[in-house]
Amino acid sequence: MNILFLTIVELKDIKEHTVYCDLLRCFRDNGHEIYTISPYERKTGKKTEYRHDKRVHMLSVSTGNITKCGLVEKGISTIFIEYIFMRGVKKYFKSVKFDLVIYSTPPITFYKTIRYVKKRDGAKSYLLLKDIFPQNAVDIGMITTVGVKGLIYKFFRAKEKKLYAISDHIGCMSQANAEYVIRHNPEVNPEIVEVCPNSIEVIDKSIEEGNRINIRKKYNIPLDKTIFVYGGNLGKPQGIGFLIKCLYKQRSNRKVFFLIVGDGTEYSKLEQFVIEHPQENMKLMRKLPKEDFDEVVAACDVGMIFLDNRFTIPNFPSRLLSYMQAGIPVLACTDVSTDIGKIVVEGGFGWWCRSDNVEGFQRTVNCILEEGKEKFNDMKNKEWEFLSEQYSCDLSYKIIMKGLRG
- CA torsion 6-7-10-15 (nearest 10°) is -60
Lowest mean pLDDT among 63-67, 137-141, 191-195, 256-260: 63-67
**Left, alpha or beta for 147 (phi > 0: left; psi -120 to 50: alpha)?**
left
Lowest mean pLDDT among 61-75, 357-371, 389-403: 61-75
Per-residue pLDDT tens over the stretch 316-369: 999 999 999 999 999 999 999 999 999 999 999 999 999 999 999 999 999 999
Q: How far is CA 365 from CA 99, 303, 345, in A?
A: 50, 12, 15
Closest CA to 140 of 356, 288, 404: 356
Q: For residues 74 and 66, give the distance between their C-alpha atoms in angstroms, rounded to a whole number.
A: 5
The pLDDT assigned to 73 comes to: 81
Does residue 43 surpass a pLDDT of 90? no
Mean pLDDT of 12-37: 94
Residue 59's pLDDT band (cuts 50, 70, 90): very high
Query: What residue ranges do the domains of the chain occupy?
Result: 2-200+392-405, 209-389
Per-residue pLDDT tens over the stretch 168-225: 999 999 999 999 999 999 999 999 999 999 999 999 999 999 999 999 999 999 999 9
CATH domain 2-200+392-405 topology? Rossmann fold (3.40.50)
Residue 377's pLDDT band (cuts 50, 70, 90): confident
Contact residues for 285 (Cβ-Cβ < 8 A; gap 6+): 219, 259, 260, 261
Quick check: do 2-200+392-405 and 209-389 share a fold? yes
**23 neighbors 201 (Cβ within 8 angstroms):** no
The pLDDT assigned to 287 comes to: 85
The pLDDT assigned to 333 comes to: 97
Residue 148's pLDDT band (cuts 50, 70, 90): confident
Antiparallel, parallel or unpaired: β 33-41 and 330-334: unpaired
Does residue 406 surpass a pLDDT of 70? no
Domain 209-389 has CATH 3.40.50.2000: yes
Task: Name the pTM for this structure.
Answer: 0.92
Does residue 404 surpass a pLDDT of 90? no
Average pLDDT, the chain: 93
Contact residues for 45 (Cβ-Cβ < 8 A; gap 6+): none
DSSP, collapsed to helix, strand or coil, labels residue 5 as strand
DSSP, collapsed to helix, strand or coil, labels residue 262 as strand
